[in-house]
Amino acid sequence: MRTKSPNCEPAGEAMPSGNPFESKSRSSYINMKIFKAEFAKGIIGGDYSTKDNLPQIAFLGRSNSGKSSVIGSLTGKKDLVRTSKTPGATIEANFFRINDAFYLVDFPGYGFAKRSVAARNRMIKRIFWYLEESNVRPKAIFLIIDGEVGITKLDWEMIRHINDNKHNLIIIANKIDKVASTKRANRVLEIQEEVKEVQVLGYSAKTEQGKEALFEKIESYL
């Protein structure tokens, strides 16, 4: 059962018409091909600056949204993200230097049920601090959701906070392969209808459907 959307005014871009899995051109995908992806550092405190001042693209998502798998499929390195054997146990914001051109900042998943309420709240507050007070403003926030489940209450809270702080926001509806192939495009459009002005891209970390469009969108912010 999907959570009813709150009354908020999204700050993202309007979704372009067309297939939510396809990019507008192939040239951007070719230019954006990732040939180098390496772990740079993990952050627990409040300093998100880097010595080289490269732009940052942040990835957020619930603990079971498949965010780590999205990053692995995007970079071509399935083991790039150092995940804990216990879901929801990772506490660092990890910086990955991509093509020596930008940082992909991977925040720990929020909302894992087996965490204590205090621990879950601390994680969400750290993300909110990054969105509000960080000494570095990310070029864009990519919010990973479970495309089969849809937008949860915690996702809506994150969307509202991202928009309130005027960040560029794109929603990635991951795990779309779990939806029947004939219904996938419509499922993405259903989610799009809920968030209105925020663009939604369908994605499958398993099959890499939607990878080209995601590459193109990241590049548009660099």
Does a structural domain hold residue 205? Answer: yes
pLDDT number for residue 45: 75
pLDDT in tens, 28-71: 433 568 889 999 998 887 788 899 999 999 999 998 899 989 99
- How would residue 114 be classed by pLDDT, with cut points 50, 70 and 90? low
Higher-confidence position of 67 and 17? 67
Cα distance between residue 213 and residue 24, in whole Å: 8
Higher-confidence position of 76 and 194? 194
Does a structural domain hold residue 6? Answer: no
pLDDT number for residue 10: 45
Cα distance between residue 190 and residue 200, in whole Å: 10
Number of structural domains the chain divides into: 1
Higher-confidence position of 101 and 18? 101
Task: Using the predicted structure, report yes or no on whether residue 197 has a pLDDT greater than 80.
Answer: yes
Residue-range definition of the domain harbouring residue 137: 27-220
CATH of the domain at 123: 3.40.50.300
Cα distance between residue 75 and residue 68, in whole Å: 11
pLDDT in tens, 124-133: 888 988 999 8
What does pLDDT average to over the chain? 83
CB hemisphere CA count around 216 (13 angstroms): 15
pLDDT in tens, 90-106: 678 899 999 999 999 99
pTM (predicted TM-score): 0.83
Cα distance between residue 173 and residue 190, in whole Å: 11
Cα distance between residue 108 and residue 94, in whole Å: 8
Does a structural domain hold residue 10? Answer: no
Does a structural domain hold residue 19? Answer: no
pLDDT in tens, 138-173: 999 999 999 999 999 999 999 999 999 999 999 999
Does a structural domain hold residue 21? Answer: no
